[in-house]
């Protein structure tokens, strides 16, 4: 690891031209503890250098300068390439890309033996707390129906959302067997409702993200923390504080 507390952490943003990538570029430029040294997208943007940051197409990833940690918010087909680059360079890897194949989850696990790796379906603090509430509710409401309903913008490609599946995992830990429903409409940033229902009553636990900055802040914070960690597989709660 090449960074320490007296230097700025060097970040490569993968998926930089996307909705999340643009939020990361904007917020990353404002951090006193980090510098975005490279931006990568599938194709090339109109300008090769934007606000002082060099941009690279995915096909020229290996030309990227030295970095300490990559933050990836792309699509499943883009993840393998940037993970391989992190392994080559000994850099940490933070990813929020959802819809990964089981084999890709296995690759993250294998990579974590050599570099610090953090993948999370949702980088907001609220969803981290919601997971714990869902597990507790499922545990104390045996036999109640558990339904997870998620709503997102029309451009989202995967369903159910990664967050819905993660919340479903918490419900299962509490003993429930969740069902899933997905809605794609307008520009909804991300909403998740976990409903527990039985005859005559129901409980709804709801998280609404109203902008992407909550995710971008969480990912940047995680990246700065992860850059100085030992190899391993980390969760958001491991780098909160």
Ligand X SMILES: O=C(O)C1=N[C@H](C(=O)O)C[C@H](O)C1
Ligand Y SMILES: NC(=O)C1=CN([C@@H]2O[C@H](COP(=O)(O)OP(=O)(O)OC[C@H]3O[C@@H](n4cnc5c(N)ncnc54)[C@H](OP(=O)(O)O)[C@@H]3O)[C@@H](O)[C@H]2O)C=CC1
DSSP alpha helices (H): ranges in the chain? 19-28, 76-89, 102-111, 125-140, 162-173, 213-226, 236-239
Tell me which stretch binds ligand X (CB under 6 A): 61-69, 111-119, 156-164, 217-225. Answer: 156-164
Q: How far is the CB of 184 from ligand Y (least distance, A)?
A: 12
Token pair of 165 as six digits? 């599946």
Q: Is 21 in the site for ligand Y (CB under 6 A)?
A: yes
Residue among 68, 66, 83 at smallest CA distance from 14: 83
Tell me which stretch binds ligand X (CB under 6 A): 40-48, 158-166, 220-228, 229-237. Answer: 158-166
Q: How far apart are CA 194 and CA 215, in angstroms?
A: 20
Has 155 been annotated as catalytic? no
**49, 84, 92, 95, 186 from 157: Cα distances, Å:** 29, 24, 26, 17, 14
What track of x and - describes contact with ligand X for positions 104 through 143 (by CB under 6 A)? -----------------xx---------------------
- Among ligand X, ligand Y, none, partner that 152 touches (CB below 5 to 8 angstroms by kind): ligand X
Q: How far is the CB of 127 from ligand Y (least distance, A)?
A: 8
Q: How far apart are CA 64 and CA 99, in angstroms?
A: 26
- Give yes or no for a contact between 94 and 217, defined as CB atoms under 8 angstroms apart: no
- Among ligand X, ligand Y, none, partner that 133 touches (CB below 5 to 8 angstroms by kind): none
Q: Please tell me which residue in 14, 55, 155, 156 is annotated as part of the active site.
A: 156
CA 12 to the chain's CA centroid: 15
Residues 130-149 binding ligand Y (CB under 6 A) are none
Has 192 been annotated as catalytic? no
**122, 191, 199, 223 from 217: Cα distances, Å:** 11, 18, 41, 10
Give the binding site for ligand Y (CB under 6 A).
15-21, 41-43, 58, 73-75, 77-78, 96-99, 120-123, 162, 215
**Binding-site residue positions:** 15-20, 42, 96-98, 120-123, 153, 162-163
């Amino acid at each position: 690891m090449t960074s320490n507390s007296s230097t700025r952490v060097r970040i490569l943003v993968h998926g930089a031209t996307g909705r999340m990538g643009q939020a990361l570029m904007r917020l990353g430029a404002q951090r006193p503890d980090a510098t975005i040294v490279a931006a990568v997208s599938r194709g090339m943007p109109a300008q090769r250098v934007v606000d002082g940051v060099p941009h690279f197409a995915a096909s020229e990833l290996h030309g990227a300068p030295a970095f300490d940690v990559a933050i990836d918010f792309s699509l499943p087909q883009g993840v393998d390439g940037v993970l391989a680059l992190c392994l080559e360079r000994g850099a940490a890897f933070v990813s929020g890309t959802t819809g990964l194949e089981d084999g890709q989850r296995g690759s993250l696990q294998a990579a974590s033996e050599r570099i610090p790796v953090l993948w999370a379906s949702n980088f907001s603090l609220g969803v981290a707390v919601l997971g714990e509430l869902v597990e507790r509710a499922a545990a104390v409401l045996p036999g109640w129906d558990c339904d997870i309903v998620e709503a997102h913008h029309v451009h989202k490609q995967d369903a159910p959302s990664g967050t819905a599946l993660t919340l479903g995992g918490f419900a299962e830990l509490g003993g429930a067997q969740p069902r899933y429903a997905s809605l794609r409409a307008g520009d909804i940033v991300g909403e998740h409702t976990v409903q527990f229902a039985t005859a005559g009553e129901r409980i709804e636990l709801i998280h609404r993200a109203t902008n992407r900055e909550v995710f971008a802040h969480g990912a940047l914070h995680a990246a700065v923390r992860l850059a100085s960690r030992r190899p391993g597989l980390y969760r958001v709660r491991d780098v909160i504080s």
